[in-house]
Structure 1
Amino acid sequence: MSTSASRPGSDPTSDPTRPLTTADQVRRIGVIAAEVFCVVGTLFGVGVIGTRVEESSGGALAATATLVAPAGPAFSIWTPIYLGLLAYAVWQALPANAVRDRVRSTGWLAAASMVLNAAWLLVTQQGWIWVSVVVIVALALTLGVLVQRLTREAASTTVERVVLDVTFGLYLGWVAVATCANITAALVDSGVDLGATANQVAAVAVLAVAAGLGVVFARQLCGRWSVAAAMAWGLVWIAVGRLGGEPRSVATGIAAIVAALLVLAAALRRRQVRSGTGDRSRTLRAV
């Protein structure tokens, strides 16, 4: 049985000496343009140009708006994600990288994720909370397809693993949790109120869905630590917000911690299974 798919650089279709095509050139420019748009959207989101996210949409997306809103420090995860996106935009433009099949198969998806991220920030500036739900769901699906495609071939260098696999793994993991929080925020902003007890039950159900997504990601994406870590990060900060802040909910806080542990355990288990089947080289690169 051939093992070339699990040996970085052994696939002839990933030969960096292949010439750049017109499609490669257009894609490289498209990704850079998308990154510029993403930066502009971010300036709105952090309040440099517009209104900060937590203050937009009438405060519906604030850290204290719902039971599944992560505490403020959780959003610091955007720093490595944005730095990673910037590094990726530069890295993918290098001729030797632009011809790699991993870049060719994911470049437009990466560009779309940047555009959707900026669009989400701009939409929330207008207070269109349900439109923001549509945008973030589209973003999550885009990132899911992108990271799935990355599992077809291992990264060939450490730099590639960081700027491509780690960046988009963190991106997907965080957006998965943010999507659950965004949908909940839209419902609450629309006046949905089930009562004190039922609201907590609903919050626990949402966290169970998030944990389920984490298990699915672990199975489908080779137990990528970047995805699991980002999801666990978001879930833990939901717990911090509910156990130490407002609105307070011990049940929700405990459920968030359990969900975070389940996501990490699922990733660990998946990696152990892959190691046991002999596909160790690919498992260790599933970051």
Structure 2
Amino acid sequence: MHTKESLIPDLKQLDINVEGTLLVHSSYKSIGAVKGGPDAVLDTLSAYMKAGLLVLPTHTWEYINKENPVFDVRRSPSNVGILTERFRRRPNVFRSEHPTHSVAALGKEAESFTKEEYRHDTPCARQSVWGKLVDRDAKILLIGVDLTRNTFIHGIEEWVDTPGRMTESYEDLYSVLRTGEKVRVPSRRHSGSHASEHYWKVEEILLEEGAMSRGTFGDADVRVVDARKTADLLTELLLKNSDLFSDNEPLADEWRYYFQNKHSKS
């Protein structure tokens, strides 16, 4: 059975900056049996990042929509896993106020990091917490999940204006803020025939280009994604091939050769 004491070394071997910013997507079951359950996992992550900023998604896109348009930052449950739901309820954790793509943050600058997210009319705007991951040279830890669960890539697609990835129309959504004030948030939504199901296809090139590494946490296979390097690489790919994630076929060898030739010329 895993413990906080046994899981901390797993995090150390992943080479994550303890004073930096870490966003975690997770499958709790993938970790295996843990003494103390989900709270012990959160204690481990919080202890490791005590000098930095720990962020978990607390999304509500599954049920906040035009038929059910009101998100309450204090009460609306996360639809992306038990760790995220437990985390948002913890002391000193600040949850952002975006109606569909909120995050919860603990530690250094958590309050300012999550401030005024309701002002963004798309899920992952460049000025939002998702863009701040680039600005802060953050790492994204995928515990027991793969790139298809990496919301950050949705953001990259938004920032380069990939055709067909956002609705043209707006839904009238609302956020109830920490103050209790209810504000209108006209929102565009992600679209594009489940493009995220195709994000797996860039795994090998991210590894080859040093934008991602692999490891373990408990029983879980994990991926550690460098936000800045991934944003740079996928921005370049998407600008050259906007259909990159439009199908489920493996990445064409021509793109690997493209980066190899680029390196040889530099």
TM-score by length of 2: 0.30
Greater RCO, 1 or 2 (C-alpha within 8 Å, sep 6+) = 1
Structure with greater proportional strand content:
2
TM-score by length of 1: 0.28
Structure with greater proportional helix content:
1
